[in-house]
Structure 1
């Protein structure tokens, strides 16, 4: 203090208001008087005002108002000077903050202002220590304000990862519901394994309430996306079982989840396994939308494999043969699409007569498959639940044999058709009419009479 006085003695003597000095000698503990003195010196140089504030806080070290005004003046001066953050003004301001906190360590506003000031200066270690000291000094009811700034401090990306992780884990002890912030941070720094573990714990906790307003379904989808995109980094979880569990639970996202599972194996380089997953998916989904998603993903996967083989510089005989095999698989997939779509529709509603008839038309050049299709159809469709006119299915089955001049089998089919418990008598009558008309077309009048009798 004496050294400072000697440096600015001339300014002080020139600016000093004798009345204020005399009053302060009588009453040095009046906050109002100190503020009046500072206001009177508003046009004085900064160092004069600093000295007055220093004298004031020395007399009244526990005055929040005096320290707050002094610190604001310090902050304003460094903002106006535009000096480098390593300049002496910044260090003087830091020193003032630390001296104020000796007496006002229960005041969160001063702690937060000081920490933000240190963050601006990029003093990482000093800011971290100030944050820790604030948490130790303030009551736990004020910790949420400090942690909000702590999380911002961590997210700025200049804090060492291990330090940030330790801080976040401490934060979760106070605010376990804020785990989503931690998960997001883990993903940004590439700690996918721990992020997946935390997210798995969240989706398993039925009482968890998302701070971001996400439903359990959305959290599941986030987990599936995370594990499928980073299979190499995630070692502590069984990724396949997680995604399959999601497939069983969330029927409205089945297509997307199957694609995630296939993508998981593709990223691991297990292409045959990925192909098996796509085939299994197409054989189990029950909506055309999901099927379309999976089919397109499967086709793009095969196309990318073919392109990769074609672009190889060393076009060896083995790689050429493999490319031909992949081309054949792609052509086979594209050729099977109508049949696969039909299977999906029938899984959705196995009692759809029209769809069974359409499926039979797909096999028009393969008699054995047509017979197998019609047989499966008449065994599957329940007369009570049938959607469409069931008798047309039996009639089409018989006409198939008729078209191949196999009237004996056609009669067997018609005979069985007459024994079905249709929902209406008209359907049964239509079967009899079709049978008789077939016999008449082939001039089998005796057989027609037998059918009538």
Structure 2
């Protein structure tokens, strides 16, 4: 391909052009004249010739220069800027330079020139032109240049591309992440590391891509691992290790990962096995979480397993005694690591909370029983490390376990000394101190020294001068509140009672009354103790004292036991009646059933049957609904012992009328059996009808069927089936007139209008018997 050269002389002017030439001679600075001349020409070369003359004449005309340069570029379209046409491209460059010397504030002119230069081989010229444009144009127009400049940098890549982006970072510091990506893309490790350090050291930096500081740190770490080694490997090692240790302080959540990466670095990059092993051990000893421990531990075990396998392969290929010794050492280290896993996990949990009693106890439990020395050391470390006020529950267990080791080894003096120190510890709760005193007493009991155990409990229960101390007041030391511990006094009572000292036992019980910590159980035990000593009246007085202290529902058991005991002693009837009247006056409805039945049985045993029945009749109106069934059952049993059939029948009727069918089924069936035994078959059928109208139960139908089979005939059986059919069809029945005394209503069933026509053709007596 050839290019038509542009003529720079007047040879291209023809006779047709003369009018235009004359106009230009008259007014050479008229833009319109030049444009008419330009439009007059048909050849692009001739047009370019006219435009070139115009631009040189009107040097500050932006419109002419753009038109002219566009045509110059058009003439070179499709040609390569190297080889035979390199000169032509250079000429155009010169024209651009001339244009820009007059119009250097026009950004589009710079852009056209830069776009024209980019494909050309002279990179220096292109970069120099980009720099000149940025220096020349105002800052507000730099964005247009930088867009093209960055595209040029992307195309070039390498160090030049990095340099371009470095300048761009000065222009737009917020684009640091974009520049970092380009550095990495161009393989500029040095600049990449500098940017990573800048980001990591800037605490105010906020990523536009939602990356966290640890994300940038890990990316930087990955880059460091890819760096080619320097001549001095020690420098590389120092840089890498320093960077890791800085990360450990700044990103503690990456602790396990960073230690693992450091160890792997010395394994893979330096083959420094010993250094890697030291780092793994250091990481395991310093990690604070189970997650970090798991990461380091698993990597460490893989590291050791790999070493052992490689060593075994070497031994197979070439046996060597030294390699055998090394293998034994490696295996020993591996087994030790596996055996210590539970201890290492326990170390981490204790680092997280050194006041965690359960973890200290667990640590002691995993120590071999044969290693008594280590167990004792661990007990001492636990006791001296834990702050009692901050400890988790169970601190007393450490003291007990510590003492038990000495006791088991017959060093009782040291065991007692430990208990003595433990009683002075400011435990979080009274129960912990109580357990210390109790176990100390048990130690003496195991030595068959009851007297010493009692003396220990005397010291434990000794009351301070201030008897109004609240046991729940945590602002007061547990040592000053322990005298109000029921658990402590109960144990003391057991010891005193077992000693057989009656007077001392009574003193202890009375002390509990004085301290106002008597419980219903201890009160009943006190009363039983006096009863065993044949002090019956004093025993009853204890019950009375308890009833003044405790109210319902707590008083329920006290009253129950008291009434049974006093009735057993057969004291005056009126005294016992007074007690029953007292309890029934204060007892809630839901608890009174037991006392009514007990009262009724008492009167019955004394031959007062009518009064016994009267009490139960009164109970029916006083107890709550859930208790009525049991009261009625007791009442019916007592009435059966008499011959008052009418009274018994009346009670039956009241029971099935008042109590819902689902709850009174036993009474209902008993009522049916009662009437059947009297051959009152009509009444039995009325009872069944009344009950089934309330609730249709299959069991009642079965009872009626059995009754008719034994006592009825064909007609009565048909009536039963008819009644059953009426209940199972949508018939409106007026139950409001149903008499509880089982007298049939004068009105028959009302048939609904919906079924009237259907039922009118049915013979109510036409029923198939199924017998």
TM-score (norm 1): 0.74
User: Equivalent residue for 1:99?
Assistant: 95
Measured after TM superposition, the shift of residue 427 of structure 1 is: 1.5
- Mapped pair 1:345 → 2:349: yes
SS in 2 for 1:4: coil
d(CA) in 2 for partners of 1:231 and 1:298?
Answer: 26
Give matches, 1:53-92, under 5 Å.
53-72=51-70, 81=78, 84=80, 86=82, 92=88
User: Equivalent residue for 2:373?
Assistant: 368
Q: Is the 8 A contact 1:225 1:260 kept in 2?
A: no
Q: Is the 8 A contact 1:228 1:260 kept in 2?
A: no
d(CA) in 2 for partners of 1:90 and 1:416?
Answer: 101
SS in 1 for 2:390: coil
d(CA) in 2 for partners of 1:408 and 1:231?
Answer: 70
SS in 1 for 2:425: coil
Give matches, 1:109-258, under 5 Å.
109-121=108-120, 123-135=122-134, 137-138=136-137, 146=145, 149-150=148-149, 152-157=151-156, 161=159, 192=189, 196=193, 199-200=196-197, 224-227=221-224, 230=227, 232-233=229-230, 235=235, 238-258=239-259
d(CA) in 1 for partners of 2:35 and 2:375?
Answer: 100
User: Equivalent residue for 1:421?
Assistant: 426
Q: Give the length in aligned residue pairs.
A: 443
User: Equivalent residue for 2:339?
Assistant: 335
Q: Is the 8 A contact 1:199 1:223 kept in 2?
A: yes
Give per-residue Cα distances to partners, 1:347-374, cap 9 Å, x unaligned: 1111111221222222245443333222
Structure 2: gaps (5+ residues): 459-771
Give per-residue Cα distances to partners, 1:122-157, cap 9 Å, x unaligned: 543442343344456556776676566555544544
User: Equivalent residue for 2:360?
Assistant: 356
Measured after TM superposition, the shift of residue 405 of structure 1 is: 7.2
Q: Is the 8 A contact 1:288 1:344 kept in 2?
A: yes
Stretch of structure 1 that moved more, 304-313 or 288-297: 304-313
Measured after TM superposition, the shift of residue 117 of structure 1 is: 3.9
- CA RMSD of superposed structures (Å): 4.8
Q: Which has the higher contact order (CA 8 A, sep 6+)?
A: 1
- 1:166 to 1:345, Cα distance in 2 relative to 1, 3 A: same
- 1:104 to 1:4, Cα distance in 2 relative to 1, 3 A: closer
- 1:175 to 1:68, Cα distance in 2 relative to 1, 3 A: same
Stretch of structure 1 that moved more, 412-421 or 279-288: 412-421
Q: Is the 8 A contact 1:353 1:387 kept in 2?
A: yes
SS in 2 for 1:356: helix
Q: Is the 8 A contact 1:258 1:281 kept in 2?
A: yes
Give per-residue Cα distances to partners, 1:9-62, cap 9 Å, x unaligned: 99x98xx89997876676554556666776788xx6655654554444344343
User: Equivalent residue for 1:270?
Assistant: 272
Measured after TM superposition, the shift of residue 377 of structure 1 is: 1.0
Measured after TM superposition, the shift of residue 382 of structure 1 is: 0.4
- 1:211 to 1:68, Cα distance in 2 relative to 1, 3 A: farther
d(CA) in 1 for partners of 2:254 and 2:97?
Answer: 55
d(CA) in 2 for partners of 1:148 and 1:2?
Answer: 34
**Is the radius of gyration larger for structure 1 or structure 2?**
2
d(CA) in 2 for partners of 1:231 and 1:382?
Answer: 53
Measured after TM superposition, the shift of residue 384 of structure 1 is: 0.8
Q: Is the 8 A contact 1:417 1:431 kept in 2?
A: yes
d(CA) in 2 for partners of 1:136 and 1:207?
Answer: 31
d(CA) in 1 for partners of 2:175 and 2:59?
Answer: 38
d(CA) in 2 for partners of 1:93 and 1:363?
Answer: 88
d(CA) in 1 for partners of 2:310 and 2:133?
Answer: 57
Structure 1: gaps (5+ residues): none
